[in-house]
Amino acid sequence: MKLKDKVTIVTGAGGGGTGRATAHRFAHEGALVVVNDVNEAGGRQTVALIESSGGRAAFCRADVGKESDVNALFAFAQSTFGGVDVLVNNASSPDGLGRLTGWIECMQLEVLGPMRAILAAIEIMRRRGGGAIVNIGSTSALGHGRKHSSWPSYDAAKMAMMRLTTTLGVLRDEDKIRVNCLVPNWIASPGPKEYWESLTPEQRKERGVPAALISPDEIADAIHRLATDETLFGRIMVWWNGEPPRLIPVGDPGYERLE
């Protein structure tokens, strides 16, 4: 897919992390970007950065955890740029979650929000002859032998997005809509980066924190590949720190071994 004049929605693009980097990356190639976030000041800053580089973007404040806001977001994209060709489901906020608290709120934002956005996107993309959707998972939701996060609802939500991606792979043949998912490990977005910088190398090793973080710009490049590579659909790209991003093989049973 060529991004020139393709209308792209990037949710959660008002912070200093992967959403902003992705919005900027797509706009650099000529995409018309709808910047979404609940952080209005941050979202407008993202738009300003894109416009200062010669790109085109518009901000829409919407809480993707609310159905009415999701509907308003897609209506905004259509009225502003004429449709939707690419959706990046990036918005996420595990802050405030506990081991046994915040479950419903987490599902609204991390699962139901992206699902509603996908349904809205598919309806519009069908009329436009196709499109691309990129979901975001997390390595903390993978497998049984790796260390999970301290938020069960978050890991369950991210695993749901991975499986939703693979089951929607059929949309490529049915509607020319490709759905893929990026599953990164530690990213140098503001919160994780601040925590990472507060630790010594010895402390990072003791706590299982990687020696180096993946930059938001690198994540944006991976999202770009999943959105534009016409050969990829229904695929999961996993990116562990210190390793190159790799695709889970088609037909992989999901378990390294059984006991």
What is the domain extent for residue 39?
7-245
Write out the catalytic residue numbers.
154
Does 87 reside within a domain?
Answer: yes
Residue 121 has pLDDT above 90, yes or no: yes
Q: What is the pLDDT confidence band of residue 237, given thresholds at 50, 70 and 90?
A: very high
The pLDDT value recorded for residue 50 is 98
**What pTM, to 2 d.p., does this model score?**
0.95
Residues 5 and 161: their CA atoms lie apart, in Å, by 28
Does 116 reside within a domain?
Answer: yes
The pLDDT value recorded for residue 206 is 92
Residue 216 has pLDDT above 90, yes or no: yes
Helices of type H across 29-151: 40-52, 67-81, 103-107, 113-127
Does 199 reside within a domain?
Answer: yes
Does 113 reside within a domain?
Answer: yes
Residue 56 has pLDDT above 80, yes or no: yes
Residues 167 and 191: their CA atoms lie apart, in Å, by 32
CA dihedral sign of residues 250, 254, 110, 95:
negative
Residues 228 and 26: their CA atoms lie apart, in Å, by 10
Does 117 reside within a domain?
Answer: yes
Does 62 reside within a domain?
Answer: yes
Q: What is the pLDDT confidence band of residue 94, given thresholds at 50, 70 and 90?
A: confident
Q: How many domains does the chain have?
A: 1
The pLDDT value recorded for residue 149 is 81
Higher per-residue confidence, 81 vs 190: 81
Residue 236 has pLDDT above 80, yes or no: yes
Higher per-residue confidence, 94 vs 167: 167
Residues 107 and 91: their CA atoms lie apart, in Å, by 12
- Across all residues in the chain, what is the average pLDDT? 94
Does 251 reside within a domain?
Answer: no
Distances 93 to 53, 63, 67, 77, 90 between C-alpha atoms, Å: 28, 11, 17, 23, 10
- Which CATH number belongs to the domain containing residue 168 in this structure? 3.40.50.720
Does 154 reside within a domain?
Answer: yes
The pLDDT value recorded for residue 145 is 64
Query: In percent, how much of the chain has pLDDT > 90?
Result: 87
